[in-house]
Structure 1
Amino acid sequence: MKVKIWAVRAAAMLLAAAAGATAAGASADAAVPDRFGFALWSGGVVSQAVPAGTSVTPGVPGRWTVKFPGQGIVGGVVHVTAVHDALTSPNGRFCQAESWGPDTSLPPNEIVRVACYRTTGVLDPAPGFSVQFARSSGGIGGGLYGYMHNNAGCGIIDNYTTLGFGTTCAHVGVGQYSIAFTGLGTPGPQDGGIQVTAVNPGAAARCKVASMQSSANGQFFRILCFNHLGALADNAFTSTYQYKRSLYGPAFPPNRFGYIWNVPGAGPATTNYNSVAGGNGLGAGPPVWTIKYYSLAASLPGNSQATAYGTSSSFCGLHRPWSAAGTDILVTVNCFDNAGNPINSGFFSSYSSQA
Structure 2
Amino acid sequence: MVDHSWSWLCPGCIPKITRTCLIKSSRSAVGNPPDQSIDQLLYLDIPFPNPRRSEMGIFRKLAGVCVAAALATAGLAAPAQAAVPDGHGFVLWNGAATVPGSTWPAATIVTPGGSGLYRIIFPGQAARGGVVHVTAVSGGPVWCQALRWGPSGADEVVYVRCYTVGGAPVDTPFSAVFASSSPPDGLAGRYGYVHSNPAGGIISQYNSSLLANSVTPLGPPGQYHVRLPGLGTFGPVDGSVQVTAADPNIGAHCEVAKWASNPGGQDVIVLCFDGVGTPFNTWFTLSYQYERSLFGSVAPPRFFGYLWNMPPPPTPNVGPPSTNFNSQLGPGTNTATASGLGLTLVSFRALAQRPDNVQVTAFGQAGEFCNLQAGWGYSGTTVLVRNVACYTPAGARVGSGSFTSYNSEF
TM range (shorter): 0.7 to 0.9
Q: Is it true that 1:65 corresponds to 2:111 in the alignment?
A: no
Q: Is it true that 1:97 corresponds to 2:97 in the alignment?
A: no
In the TM superposition, residue 158 of structure 1 has moved relative to its aligned partner by: 0.8
In 2, Cα distance between equivalents of 1:349 and 1:196: 11
Consecutive unaligned residues in structure 2, runs of 5 or more? 1-79, 312-316
In the TM superposition, residue 121 of structure 1 has moved relative to its aligned partner by: 1.2
Is the 8 Å Cα contact of residues 77 and 134 (structure 1) preserved in structure 2? yes
* 1:114-263 equivalences in 2 (<5 Å): 114-126=160-172, 128-138=173-183, 139-173=185-219, 174-263=221-310
Give the corresponding residue for 1:3: none
Report the 3-state secondary structure (helix = DSSP H, G, I; strand = E; otherwise coil) of the residue aligned with 1:31: coil
- Name which one, 1 or 2, has greater alpha-carbon Rg: 2
Report the 3-state secondary structure (helix = DSSP H, G, I; strand = E; otherwise coil) of the residue aligned with 1:57: strand
In 2, Cα distance between equivalents of 1:345 and 1:287: 7
In 1, Cα distance between equivalents of 2:379 and 2:242: 25
Percentage of matched positions with identical amino acids = 44
In 2, Cα distance between equivalents of 1:29 and 1:232: 43
In 2, Cα distance between equivalents of 1:73 and 1:221: 26
Is the 8 Å Cα contact of residues 187 and 297 (structure 2) preserved in structure 1? no
Report the 3-state secondary structure (helix = DSSP H, G, I; strand = E; otherwise coil) of the residue aligned with 2:373: strand
Report the 3-state secondary structure (helix = DSSP H, G, I; strand = E; otherwise coil) of the residue aligned with 1:270: helix
Give CA-to-partner distance per residue, 1:168-224, whole Å, 9 cap, x none.
Answer: 111012110001110110000000000000001110000110000000000000000
In 2, Cα distance between equivalents of 1:145 and 1:72: 20
Aligned AA for 1:142?
A
Q: Is it true that 1:347 corresponds to 2:402 in the alignment?
A: yes
Q: Is it true that 1:281 corresponds to 2:335 in the alignment?
A: yes
Report the 3-state secondary structure (helix = DSSP H, G, I; strand = E; otherwise coil) of the residue aligned with 1:239: strand
* Structure 1 outlier segments of 4+, above 3 Å: none
In the TM superposition, residue 81 of structure 1 has moved relative to its aligned partner by: 0.6
In 2, Cα distance between equivalents of 1:205 and 1:229: 9
In the TM superposition, residue 29 of structure 1 has moved relative to its aligned partner by: 9.6
Q: Which moved more, 1:132-141 or 1:201-210?
A: 132-141
Pick from 285, 288, 291: which aligns with 2:346?
291
Aligned AA for 2:388?
V
Q: Is it true that 1:112 corresponds to 2:166 in the alignment?
A: no
* 1:31-70 equivalences in 2 (<5 Å): 31-47=83-99, 48-70=102-124
In 1, Cα distance between equivalents of 2:195 and 2:244: 10
In 2, Cα distance between equivalents of 1:205 and 1:29: 38
Consecutive unaligned residues in structure 1, runs of 5 or more? 1-27, 87-91
Report the 3-state secondary structure (helix = DSSP H, G, I; strand = E; otherwise coil) of the residue aligned with 2:372: strand
In the TM superposition, residue 60 of structure 1 has moved relative to its aligned partner by: 2.5
Aligned AA for 1:248?
F
In 1, Cα distance between equivalents of 2:81 and 2:405: 20
Report the 3-state secondary structure (helix = DSSP H, G, I; strand = E; otherwise coil) of the residue aligned with 2:375: strand
Report the 3-state secondary structure (helix = DSSP H, G, I; strand = E; otherwise coil) of the residue aligned with 1:241: strand
Is the 8 Å Cα contact of residues 187 and 216 (structure 1) preserved in structure 2? yes
In 2, Cα distance between equivalents of 1:45 and 1:341: 29
Report the 3-state secondary structure (helix = DSSP H, G, I; strand = E; otherwise coil) of the residue aligned with 1:235: coil
Change (3 A) 1:41 1:81: same
Q: Which structure carries more strand by proportion?
A: 1
Give CA-to-partner distance per residue, 1:119-156, whole Å, 9 cap, x none.
Answer: 12111023x11100000111223100000000010001
In 1, Cα distance between equivalents of 2:92 and 2:106: 13
Report the 3-state secondary structure (helix = DSSP H, G, I; strand = E; otherwise coil) of the residue aligned with 2:322: helix
Report the 3-state secondary structure (helix = DSSP H, G, I; strand = E; otherwise coil) of the residue aligned with 2:366: coil
Change (3 A) 1:221 1:53: same
In the TM superposition, residue 161 of structure 1 has moved relative to its aligned partner by: 1.1
Is the 8 Å Cα contact of residues 180 and 218 (structure 1) preserved in structure 2? yes
In 2, Cα distance between equivalents of 1:217 and 1:330: 35
Is the 8 Å Cα contact of residues 29 and 140 (structure 1) preserved in structure 2? no
Is the 8 Å Cα contact of residues 187 and 298 (structure 2) preserved in structure 1? no
Report the 3-state secondary structure (helix = DSSP H, G, I; strand = E; otherwise coil) of the residue aligned with 1:304: strand
Report the 3-state secondary structure (helix = DSSP H, G, I; strand = E; otherwise coil) of the residue aligned with 1:40: strand
Give the corresponding residue for 2:29: none
Aligned AA for 1:253?
P
Give the superposed CA RMSD. Answer: 1.3
Pick from 130, 141, 152: which aligns with 1:76?
130
* 1:297-336 equivalences in 2 (<5 Å): 297=352, 299-331=353-385, 332-336=387-391
Give the corresponding residue for 2:69: none
Is the 8 Å Cα contact of residues 32 and 137 (structure 1) preserved in structure 2? yes
Is the 8 Å Cα contact of residues 359 and 406 (structure 2) preserved in structure 1? yes
Aligned AA for 2:174?
F
In the TM superposition, residue 30 of structure 1 has moved relative to its aligned partner by: 6.1
In 2, Cα distance between equivalents of 1:29 and 1:237: 30
In 2, Cα distance between equivalents of 1:120 and 1:310: 19
